[in-house]
């Protein structure tokens, strides 16, 4: 459990608590699979959601004090870079569209320079076409930057469009692997 305080210049401090799934003591937090349940804190503002996994390290905090200015600068930069459609970085993330909530999660996870492995499970489920395109571009960009990407999806077009290699699973076992460029729908059992 993480507890910290946030406030706007004109308001009283607000106590905020976040539960993160950690891979073990001293390890990096894992990314969320369900954006509402694990990926976002809906009553928090956009800026705070963009640092959920790094608010406790410099430049976002120092000696137990949260650096609101650094968090705001980070949010402004990321909202612009990742095209999160929000009226303000002070907007509650709960007020964003589903696509922009998903963008906020993807933005936070991909904004780390230390990402070496990206596991994405159903990354575009329930999103509009524009958000799907955005997520796909960012996954490909991560791959092109040397990040290993494991894509798990029920969307065949997504798998075929984003993958270099495809592994087919049946009853929890990999039954076939093939290069994506040499694969068509009929080989995948469709």
pLDDT in tens, the chain (190 residues): 333 333 444 445 444 444 433 333 333 434 454 566 558 999 999 999 999 988 888 999 988 899 999 999 999 999 999 889 999 999 999 999 988 998 898 888 888 767 788 888 888 887 888 888 888 998 899 899 888 999 988 888 899 999 999 998 888 898 889 998 888 887 776 5
Count up the domains in the chain and report the number: 1
Q: What is the largest CA-CA distance in the chain?
A: 61
Tell me if 74 is assigned to some domain: yes
* 13 domain residue, yes or no: yes
Q: 149, 142 in Cβ contact below 8 A?
A: yes
**Residue at 123 is within a domain:** no
For residue 51, being part of any structural domain is answered with yes
**C-alpha to C-alpha distance for 35 and 18, rounded to whole angstroms:** 14
| Domain carrying residue 99 | 2-113
Nearest in space to 107 (alpha carbons), one of 139, 129, 70: 139
In a domain, 73, yes or no: yes
67 inside domain: yes
| Residue 146, in any domain of the structure | no
Query: What's the pTM value of the predicted model, to 2 decimals?
Result: 0.67
- Does residue 23 lie within any of the structural domains? yes
pLDDT recorded at residue 3: 35
CB 166 within 8 A of CB 173: no
Instruction: Give the C-alpha separation, 100 to 107, whole Å.
Output: 10
Q: How far apart are CA 190 and CA 188, in angstroms?
A: 6
């Amino acid at each position: 459990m993480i507890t910290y305080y946030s406030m706007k210049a004109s308001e009283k401090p607000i106590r905020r608590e976040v539960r993160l799934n950690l891979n073990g003591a001293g390890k990096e937090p894992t990314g969320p699979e369900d954006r509402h349940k694990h990926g976002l804190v809906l009553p928090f503002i956009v800026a705070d959601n963009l640092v959920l996994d790094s608010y406790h390290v410099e430049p976002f905090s120092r000696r137990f004090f949260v650096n609101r200015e650094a968090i705001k600068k980070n949010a402004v930069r990321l909202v612009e870079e990742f095209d999160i459609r929000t009226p303000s970085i002070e907007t509650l993330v709960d007020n964003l569209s589903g696509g922009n909530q998903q963008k906020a999660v993807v933005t936070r996870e991909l904004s780390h320079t230390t990402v070496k492995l990206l596991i994405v499970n159903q990354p575009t489920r329930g999103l509009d076409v524009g958000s799907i395109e955005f997520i796909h571009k960012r996954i490909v960009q991560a791959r092109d930057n040397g990040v290993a990407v494991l894509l798990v999806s029920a969307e065949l077009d997504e798998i075929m469009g984003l993958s270099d290699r495809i592994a087919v699973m049946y009853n929890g076992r990999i039954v076939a692997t093939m290069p994506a460029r040499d694969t068509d729908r009929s080989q995948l059992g469709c």
